[in-house]
Amino acid sequence: MMGFPRLFSRLLLLLALPAALHATPEADRLAASALFDGTLPAAPAAAADAKADASTEFLKQMKEVLATGHWNGSSPQMRQFVFRNNSEGWTAQAQSVGLEGFLWTKKELEGKYGAAAFAGQTGDYFNYLDALLAPVPWTAELRKALTDLKASSASEAEKNARINALLENYVSGLQANMARYDAAAWAKKARIYELFPRAYNAAGRRAAGGSFFRDFQASDFEKIKRMGFDAVWPMGILPIGVRGQTGTGGGSPYSISDHSTVNPDLGTEADFKAFVQRAHSAGLRVIVDFVVNHTSLDSRLLSENPAYFVSYRSDAACARDHFDYNWNGARYCVHNGGFEYGGGVSSWIDTAQINYSNPALRSRMTEIVKGWVTKFDVDGFRVDMAYLALNNVFARTWARTMPYEEFYRQLIWTVKAAKPSAAFMAEAYAYQEDLGACGFDTIYSKHEDARPEGQTGWYNASESGDPRAIQSSINRNAFLAWQTGGSGSVMFAGNHDEAAPERIYGRRLPAMLALTLLYPGAVMVYSGAEIGYDAAVPGGEQKPLPFSVPCQIDWKGGDPAVKGVYDRIFALAASVKAELGDYDIEPLWPPQGQGWAGYVMKSKTRPGLRKAVIGNVTWDPTRADLPQAGFSASLQPGEYKVLDLR
């Protein structure tokens, strides 16, 4: 993007970031900046009008102030504030750029170490806050209050305390406004049941026949609801391509031949509409896939225009990782869908790579996704490998000049204009900050290592058994569950891409599930996991419901011991929710040498009521001392406790 290096330098001077923060994603953005042309793409007919709805614009601005800061196209104009502990010589990065991340981290640090340990930074606080607030006109009152405070004769300690008080009141007010204006906020607390229609085997649960969408009746939704879920994600409902199809199970559900309709093997469009209506009647929202990065080799989009794809015309043999395609009498070489890996591009051979440098393709995709809410009334989208379509990632991977604005800002706000409650969940293992600034409501908590504390993604941290990573992830996710302006996290013990949870966690599974399912933010469980069903291919595909071979869940099979664990923890989660109502969490920090992890659950609806959950997700026994609960004992791997706090 034009002007990026100058803005980037000014930003570093403003916030004096430590060298460790200059790796990803900042260095990646800088490397890609030369490929941004600075031109504005034409907006689609139904997208942002100059007279955009005032409440939508207010919502965007609140997200900017609370969470993301202002962005210039693909470039952040501010970075997270970095606090300095002068007495011990270390720094800590705020949880987010905006007021929520600044205030949360400031109060956490001062609560642990005392405000005096961070003395001498009030001038930096004032500069940061003014720069954050300046782009949004309605923050003028707060800016003036801060300017007056800065110029006052109050001591530094008094100024610091008054900054805290001002921000606590202001953030509280904005969070109340978010509750009014953000119709998609439900996604940040959603309990999502992912199911694989091709393998679900409704007939194995009761008498059924015909198509999946017709077979799935009110009683099936009610069973899901009784387990504690409020959203269902039928994964793999889009038509699958035939050309290049892999395996014998019907092909990968992510090699899509038509993004705009349902797989006829599962039923008709009318059947799917009825499926959505029955889900809504049962109190469940419906999430569907948006496969952003690629299509099948014989997709409808490819037949419309090969320019929608990374391709070139040629009569010669196609280069490696390409396939040939004939269109309107001409021969094209189309690149297989891929992603950055090992300094190059790794490809899925049954897919074709979509070209997000093409504004016409962006508008076409926006139209298609919007159709799922206008035609089928779905409630949200799980965006597959979402970060691959970000400007800086796509430009670097495919050496393309990108439009000025991010595709996702066009997409998300166009769809939300049609249905404000429509939510977007990103499957992402990098660039969470960029996706949040684009408007995603939630992001997978699997792999997130761009922060100074290392791995904070819940799945990878808990999988590792590293107590430090596990507790850092809980700390990160406690913030993400509390904040309202940015993307929330989605915690899970498994999904369609991972091996069965009991394979990953072994005897640690009960503690992992307890810490996951008691989390007050979004949580996801994959169908079949609740009975311990695992049909992984020995020596091959490790998914519990493989794509490569025919598979159907045996609802009378599975592992009774695993089913018992899920049943107990589903019941526990329901009991805690009934007792506490809506609650926030606060991380617990184990004493030196103890390897357990946990958090305090603080009721918002019943002030003063608190409980703690602690568990051992490591591979070794550990001592656990929690004096405020009167608890002191040894915890075996997988053991957990829910305790009343004094």
CA distances from 504 to 73, 169, 235, 493, 494 (A): 40, 44, 22, 9, 9
Q: Give φ, ψ of 583 to 5 degrees.
A: -145, 155
> Over pLDDT 90: what percentage of the chain?
89
Give the DSSP letter of residue 591: P
**Of the candidates 274, 207, 216, 293, the residue with the CA atom closest to the CA atom of residue 527:** 216
DSSP-based three-state secondary structure for 171: helix
Count CA atoms within 13 Å of residue 576 on its CB side. 28
> How many residues are listed for the chain in this entry?
646
3-state secondary structure 186-240: HHHHCEEEEECHHHHCHHHCCCCCCCHHHHCCHHHHHHHHHCCCCEEEECCCCCE
29 pLDDT band, cuts 50/70/90, is very low
Nearest Cα residue to 616 out of 505, 527, 490, 535:
505
CB neighbour list of residue 49: distance below 8 Å, 6 or more residues apart: none
pLDDT digit string, tens, across residues 440-492: 999 999 999 999 999 999 999 999 999 999 999 999 999 999 999 999 999 99
Residue 47 tokens read as: 């997208």
Q: How does pLDDT run across 194-246, given as a tens digit for each residue? A: 999 999 987 665 444 568 999 999 999 999 999 999 999 999 999 999 999 99
Q: Cα dist. 223→13, 284, 333, 582, 627 in Å? A: 56, 11, 49, 23, 40
Is the whole-model pTM more than 0.95? no
Q: Please, which residues have CB within 8 angstroms of residue 443's CB and are 6 or more apart in sequence?
A: 386, 425, 426, 428, 432, 435, 436, 487, 488, 489, 490
For residue 49, what pLDDT is reported? Answer: 52
pLDDT at position 32: 43
Report helix, strand or coil for 350.
coil
Which domains does the chain carry?
A: 4-34+69-181 (no CATH), 583-644 (2.60.40)
* pLDDT tens profile 505-556: 999 999 999 999 999 999 999 999 999 999 999 999 999 999 999 999 999 9
| pLDDT at residue 210, as a whole number | 65
| Amino acid sitting at position 538 | P
Please tell me the predicted confidence (pLDDT) of residue 204. 62
> Checking phi first, is residue 120 left (phi over 0); if not, alpha (psi -120 to 50) or beta?
left
Q: Which of 210-214, 234-238, 415-419, 576-580 has the lowest mean pLDDT?
A: 210-214
Query: What mean pLDDT value characterizes the chain?
Result: 91
Region 628-634 average pLDDT: 97
pLDDT for 628: 95
